[in-house]
Structure 1
Amino acid sequence: MPPKAPIPWHCPSCRSFSTTTTRRQLRPENPNYIAIPQPPQQTLVHKPFIKGRLPVPRDIFAGAEGKDKASPEWLDPHTKPPSKDVQAKQGSREEWKSKISSMRRQNLREGLTSLKARRDTEASRLKSKSDRNQKARHEALTRPEREDDRLTAPSHGLDLEHLYKGFIPSSPGVRPDPTRDERIERMRANVAARTEASRAERASHLNTLYMNARSFIVTPAQLDSAVDEAFGTPENPVRFTGSFDGSAIEVSGNGASVWASGKPDRVQDMLNRANNVGGKSAFDGMNPVEEVNRKRITRIAEAFTGGKMDDGEAAKRYGA
């Protein structure tokens, strides 16, 4: 009974469910599912993968004891025909062995001669290529500088030693800038002025910090006193009552509030006080002349003392 023919196997994922046959079917996870044009690589040399490791080719001309294997001095003794001319029968084993020996001698002579010629040709080609590279390198090293390179080079090509010696009066060289001393003195004065301004600003900041530090809260007792002053005590909390006067709404009630001492200034009030318009100026509730004199005396006191002073202290000390 003859064996059954094998049933061809088809991949289930590649099976077509359409009546029209397709030449190519790829799943979405295939990297070639979306056709992406590839850039041409004309310079890419195809190097097929060689399985295994190839042995290092040996030098067939080594071991000749200083003789050239392709020369007649070495080939003649190794390819010498037999001394006895044996007349073998045609078609016999002796005739076959004689032909094989003659062919072996001929192949050895021709093989060594052709390999020597090929090695000499390759060595000559490599030597000529090396000579061309050495010549091109020597020409590039000894080539004169191009004009565009010379004009655009960052180096000025001056004699620096001669230039530096010019700044020493006892040595000859290029004369220094005649205005050099004046420029140096001006720069020193600028540096001193900046240093003094920085020192004065730092001293002013320290003095302002010292003046403002008198109202800093640094102890728990001061914190309790400030909290009691702002919010009152549990027995006598700060309370407020208010009314609507057309400019602001104040809530009435018995709860504690930080606005019991008065409502804060609006933005418009601050702008009017700064611009002195609309009857809302910095002199509201006081004599304008007294306010100007007070600020003037404060500035004079700060100039005398060299630091920041409160308006009240300046007025008390200098009689504002």
Structure 2
Amino acid sequence: MPPKPLTIPFRPWKCPQCRTFSATTSNRQLGPEHPDYIPIPQPPQQNLPDRPFTKGRLPVPRDVFAGAEGKDKTSPEWLDPHTKPRRKNIRVQAGSREEWKVKMSNMRRQNLREGLVSLKARRDTEQHALKTRSERNQREREEALTRPEREDDRLTAPSHGLDLDHLFHGYIAGSPGVRPDPTRDERIARMRANVAARAEAARAERAFHVNTLYMNARHFIVTPKQLDAAVDEAFGTPENPIKFGDPHSRADMENAASMWAYGRPDRVQDMLDRANGVRGMKAMDGAGGYSVINRDRIRRIAEVFTGGKMEDADEARR
């Protein structure tokens, strides 16, 4: 049978200067099942790296001191039979293989003895530290559970340790260590009066708010027709828009496009002067100011007498 011809895979020639020395695999050389097949832009700040995957699985460490049938492997009763020296003193030649075997066997015995003793000491140290830490945590827990309540916690707690039956039904006659309170009935009556006064004040305030809402609800805009009427009243209609200025002056009405055409508004000092009747003011302004103030005072007095909100005269004309 003739031999098979040797086949060499054909590789296209590539310029050495055009080769890339990057270790990153091109996406075109990855299969569709690879997560990097479709390039996804990465954020500037990467997330924390995942925990590195450990190949294989570490075995569970066995208990070195198990299987001694209740004996301590660090005791002489167990160590002496397992680390006893050779019975025969064999003379070996220096540098020979027999000398190396004897040296290794002695080293194994020594390592077994020292390893068991050191492992037992380390295990005892770890168990002692674990037991000490556990006992300390247990003591701290018991102390926290049996610790008395702090004064600030007791005073700010939503519940208290008062004897409600004793508080509402009086002191028990003949009970030891209990002193009668002669002012108990007076204090309870005063507390009940305070509670009733607060309830009455809250009821009156609510009634006043309901009455005020009822009086102001007549001017609420709840329909499109009312909205159109309010807009026309404030800005006028396209045929008859709102003009500012003197209505008897044609030039003033044509050029006045602001509320300031009526003049500057009153300052706080002007209103105080009008209320106090300072000399030097116009008699008409003073009379008008006094009439407005008196009207407001009378309305407030009537509200106090009636116990409800009353409508202003200017609002009633609307």
Larger radius of gyration: 1
> TM-score, normalised on structure 2?
0.45
> TM-score, normalised on structure 1?
0.45
Return the structure number with greater relative CO, CA threshold 8 A, min gap 6.
2
